[in-house]
Every structure is written in structure tokens, then in C-alpha cells.
Structure 1
Amino acid sequence: MKIGILQTGHAPDAIIGETGDYDQLFERLLGGHGFDFETWAVVDNVPLPGPEAADGWLITGSRHGAYEDHPWIPPLEALIRRIRASGRPMIGVCFGHQIIAQALGGKVEKFSGGWAVGRQVYDYGGRRVAVNAWHQDQVTRLPEGAKILGGNAFAPHAILGYGDTIWTCQPHPEFDSDFIAGLLKHRAPGNVPQPLIDEATARLPEPTDRLEVGEEMARFFLQERVA
């Protein structure tokens, strides 16, 4: 199965040599299932493919807002709608979660309650799941057909499903504690309030369920669907 990665951001220059870029984080997270991967760096304004270029699609995170005026966002939204119409499975993470909702008629805004950084706990299908997060924007109005699968008090729309072909999540299962540590050092200062940086740093040693979520993502791609 070929997974097309629509890359909408890049890892910080200071850590990318050690961690790899966003597409590589997902390739590692989804490894072991026989997937082939191809990346289109949407954020760099590369020409976009059609839905038929891959069997499944994944949209990464980004430091940009889905509501911002960038020339690559409208074509990406159009491709999202075409992928949905094609029936191919699609997963969105953080910005990917938000841009899918926006493309399908929902609303994304900068959250007045501020940032979520580092390890967060979500109610997902009746169980508690810990995953790293890094966001201030949120989906504040659901598009038609979206179902809330999980969330918490801070981000009630954190995990969404659209039938059996689209699954999206606000947190980052591809981010391990080392990557979060790099973000806390290189992206947080001047953007994230210091008390939140301190709290996230203190939580770095705590385990997360990111690998289990990654397995669920792989199963989502692989599940049989009625044409």
C-alpha cells in the first residue's frame, strides 16, 4: 500500500539533522506494515498530485495556521475534497486535522485558552490515551459528517472521524519525548508561556501511548472498505 504524505511544515533546523523531517517521523511511526511512502512538500509549493497517486493519504503538522493566507492552502483544500470523494483513506495530524475540517466546512481558530504543549491525556473511545501535543489553534466548529471520537476539556474536538475513510487527531503521535524537548528548546521561547514550557519539560520522562496510536493509524489505512 502506498501512502502519500502531504507535508505542510518542517522540523526546526536545529534538530532536523538528528530527528529527521516531519515525513520521516511518520514513516518511522507507521513502519513495519509494508507501506511505501511518497512525500509532496506542500508547504514548499510543489505541484500537487491527484487522489489516484496514492492508496492512502496523510497530512502532517505545520507551524502555519489553516486560516492563514498562503498560496498552497487553497489547492490543498481542493485536494482534500477530491481525496474524500475518491473514497481513499486519509489521516490528518494537528494542522492536518485542522485543514481537513476547514476544507470540509468546519472552522479553525486560534484558541483563546492558549497552548497545549507536551504530554496531554485524552478520553478516546472510553479509555485514557496520553499523546504529545503542540498547538494553539483548534477546530472550533465541526464540518457536516464529522464525529467526535476523543478529546479532553482543553481540546474537546481532538480526535475526529468522518465515516470510515477519514481519521484526524489534534495531538502528535509521531512526536517522541526527544522531539518535544527539541521544540521546547528551539520553538517555544518567545511563543509559549514559560510556565507551560516548565510543565512540559517536567513531563518529558512520563510515558505516552504514541506507538499504540500509530498502530491504530496503520490499521485504519489497512482496513477493508466497501466500495
Structure 2
Amino acid sequence: MPGRFAQLEIDVPDPPDAAAFWASLLDWTTVGADSGMGVVRPPVSDGCPWDLVFLKENAAKRRKNRLHLDLASGSPEHQTALVAWARKLGARSADIGQGDAELPWVVLADPWGTEFCVLEPRADYHGSGALAALVIDSRDPPALARYWATATGWTVGHTASDYAGLRAPGGRGPWLEFVRDTADARQGRNRVRPVLLPGDGEHASADPEGNEIVLLHSGDDPDSHFPAKKR
């Protein structure tokens, strides 16, 4: 039996403020915050399976994250409004390798350097909620997608030599996407990490490309310190 997504951990210097930023940006709810942690929860209508859990990390961020979030938009006007709102909250432009290329999406970073993209409207993300996707840099996207499909029970929806995408079995919520990036910028622990509640059988603590997977032990309750989810 595959595991299920429970949380997405993100290291930041100031968890409460980061939680407040992302709750405002996504129109989600802060359900717990203290000096060492901040938790942001999606509404049930979004279909997103994970909370965002911000953990305190004082070490300086020195390179782009290998995992980042893409935000969905419903129209060009909505995309423009999302970008403006993000900037008002403190986001800034970021370069994750796009340079001066003109792209239909906008690359930003939150005030603590966590990169994210605000996408132009795309049919694939209709009904995904506030988040379009969690994107993972990969040397071999199709192979890594197959691994994560087995680990999570999600379905491969798109695949090509430089891209692959998984969708939750119910067809709701954000995609899990893999994009080719042969520059291995990973040094030390990733600052963005998926958290899985394991199913039956063995589950690795890292995927084949070394991206950490935080495993909740059998019997752990991912919501033990916060209000219960309704799923």
C-alpha cells in the first residue's frame, strides 16, 4: 500500500511570519504557529493533501531550492492580481535560471528566499485550487515520476523526456511535477521536503535522486498539535 502526502516542510528563519505570508497569499488558514514552527492548512475545497509546515532554520539560503510551488491562476487578470498581491506581501522577483527570457509565468521568492511561480492560466490546472503543482528538479523526470507514483499511489498524467507529472487518484488538488535540471545544486539537506505517512511495506527516506522524504512513524498523527483535518 502506498504512502500518502501529509505535509510539505519548508525551512525558513521566521516560521510564524512565513506562515502568515503564505496563508495570505493562498487564502489558506494558519492553524498553528510559535517561534519554531508555523502551519498553514488548505480549505477542503482545494483538494490539496498537504499542510505547509514552516520550520526554523537560521542557516543562510545559498542556492535555489530543488523543490518549489507553482500557483494557479484562472485568467490573465487573476495572474496579474496574484503577482501584485504577492509583491504587496513582500515577495520579490527571483532568477532560477530563466535569465532575461520572456516567459508566460512569473518567478518570485517570498521574503525568506523560497521560490515560487505564478502561472498563466492552463487547462491542466483547472480545479487544482490555489496551488497548481509541487515541482521537483530532476535529472531524469520520467524515472523519478515512476518512483513517486509507486511511493504515493498517484497516477502518471503526463510524461516526456524532460517533464513528467503525477495527479492524485481523485483528480483534485495540485500536481506533483518533475522538470529536467541537470545542474545538481543540491548540497546538504533540501529546504523543502515532502512528508509522507507510510503505507504498508518499506519506504525510503530519500528518492533515487537524493531528495529527502520525511516519514511519519506508524501511529504518528500529523495533526497531533493542530486542529483535525477533514478529508
Instruction: Specify which structure has the higher proportion of strand.
Output: 2
User: Relative contact order (alpha carbons < 8 A, sep ≥ 6): 1 or 2 greater?
Assistant: 2
Shared fold, TM over 0.5: no
